[in-house]
Structure 1
Amino acid sequence: MSTMHRFEVQAADGATGARAGVFHTAHGPVLTPVFMPVGTRATVKGMTPESLEALGVQVVLANAYHLFLRPGADLVAEAGGLHAFTNWKRAILTDSGGFQIFSLADTLKLDDDGVIFRSIVDGAWHRWTPEDNVRIQEQLGADIIMQLDQCPPYPAEEAFVAEAVRRSAAWAKRCWAAHAREDQALFGIVQGGLYQHLRRESIERLGEIGFPGYGIGGYSVGEPHELMLESLAEVGALLPADRPRYLMGVGNPTTIVQAIALGVDMFDCVLPTRTARLGTAFSSEGRLNLRNARFARDFGPLDPACSCPVCRSYSRAYLRHLVNVKEMLGAILLTTHNLHFVLDLVRRAREAIVAGEYAAFVRAWMESPGANDY
């Protein structure tokens, strides 16, 4: 493992599994816990790189599947990689695109060597091996890249999930062997669904390789929330303490608070930005549907407990008007607010860990008016 990609645990909460750390990347240190906004097609919808930086975003996600289809990894490489192409100066993580491919099961052909899939853009067929996927992500040039894996749905038969674990572990070895860029950190991905013995097997197989970090995949795909947390608790305890743990595709504020207590360091999700575009704001009161008539003459701030630029400058009534007439400014402002809300929550969680008060932080959040609304 490159010393560039070392992870340092700076504080650990004695009453929970929460920890505050720093993961070093080619584009600077990333303080954890961290929430990473999703910019699937090399943009977080409605946000400029400058506005993301002003919010304190440390890492932005992009998706190898979508960028492979448009504009093409060759073009991004010609532009100098994603950082130059997008004018984003901080860290970038690219997802392998495996989740997107396997979610389109009706256009998928799979074998141990790789996967054949049909483009959602023009219907053309493409074949990816693990080596192809790594090459594409190296062309894109992200700081953190993810192995190609098979993500089984929920529910799924144990035999099917076991085969996905076996195949993903074999692909992990091939991704590791193919990866050549020392300025990139390649993460393995733990699979296994809710079958704990398969989760343990996946962790053991990945541990033989020695990745600098680990994604935790296969959750938030329809399984009961409490079962996910029970499973995640054991997974967090089994993963190496000196490597970052990345819970993929989770952005629910309450789940983030609970997962940090189980030792998770990194999160990403489209939830804050997608709900914003649908006219919903996160708040200390829970979710606010700005289409609701009760906000028509509410000239107070969106969330009185929030210090973001939107809450300092715009009323609920105005935001409701923008949402109802479908002005793009409404989506931009709500996206700004929702990202601030989640980023600030994670920032305060880190402060509580450093102070040794994370258990109290969790209790306060769970007793807050909006906790059960997420």
Structure 2
Amino acid sequence: MQGFQAEPKHDSYDVVIIGGAIMGSSTAWWLTRLGFTGRILVLERDPTYAQAGTTHTNSCIRQQFSTELNIRISQFGAEFVQNLRRHMGDDDRIPPLKIQNFGYMYLADSPGFAAVLRANQHLQIALGAETRLLTPDQIKAEYPFYAVDDLTLGSINTRDEGYFDGSTMFDWFRRKAREAGVEYVVDEAKAMTLADGKVTTVTLASGRQIACGTVVNASGPRGARTAAMAGIDLPIEPRKRFTWVIQAATPLDRPLPLTIDPSGVHMREVGGGTYMIGGHADHDPAADFDDFAMDSSIWEDKIWPAIATRIPAFEAVKIISEWTGHYDYNTLDQNAVTGPHPDVQNFLFLNGFSGHGLQQSPAMGRGTAEWIVHGRYQTLDLSPFHYDRITSGEAVVEGAII
């Protein structure tokens, strides 16, 4: 449990962050980066992070979203990743990071989704991305391993889009936050007390009661449970997402972009003739918090047929490893919920990222820290993701969810 304390040093903290994975740690570090001098406590129930979404992530980043805010969030994320050392004070202990720009390849097999890709590309280009639209013949010319007979259009961007080492970024968020005085404690929030429209105390599983100035809900798929402690309904639930790493008998002759197939299955380059495959069952209900069981029938019935149809070389593959992770799935619109609750105003959300949390964590942690320190956003305006849209049912529709 390196870096974790057994219990809090104090009975009162200016900020209590519930969840110490990527969102909680980004927020903690950004608070110190912005000069916040109050006491900060991070509560993490599992110091191994064995079941955290941060651990199970495929660690990719893309510009190919359909909303301006999501595009700008990931553009900052790309800049942050590739300048991590500078952002963290030119600390020469921090290794240089880069994005392996194999890009994302969205494939459309219908006029409707092709129209979505065209509209998305128009916005992405206007915001500085380098997204290209490809006909099936152009896809085949650039990537001969694809079967394209059923396709109508492809969309790819190979600048600031691909894989990066998210575990290193996560490690340095935590390490730099702790070095700046943030306390990481192995414990779990179990209850909250409210008075005059604010959370006043958080009761821990250990029995300690901690007074707080601000509470940040960064508890991933357990976000709804955390919100319920403050009397808040939050449409977040765990959804199982399966990942396989495969070895191909015949490796592809060039890097495989992170390919989003019309079947819903996605796949990307790992290296050395190995590839990462992701997907989920067609029936996609909420999962139990501790249910990380694999389901071999999904591979046999859906995943393998899909990848072998799209890339015939994948007819002969061997599974090297496999795991199940959880999305913190926002059932309203699969977009983040951020900012303060309109009534419980010292309760802040960092929830519902639905699979794109790692790439968004630099901007989301920064925005949350700005709100705490300044009472407003100073860089990207994250208010379209505020909780108000939950109560009104006004979805922020994103046409590029994976």
**Max Rg structure:** 2
Shared fold by TM > 0.5?
no
> What TM-score comes out, normalization by structure 2 length?
0.28
> What TM-score do the two structures reach when normalised by structure 1?
0.29
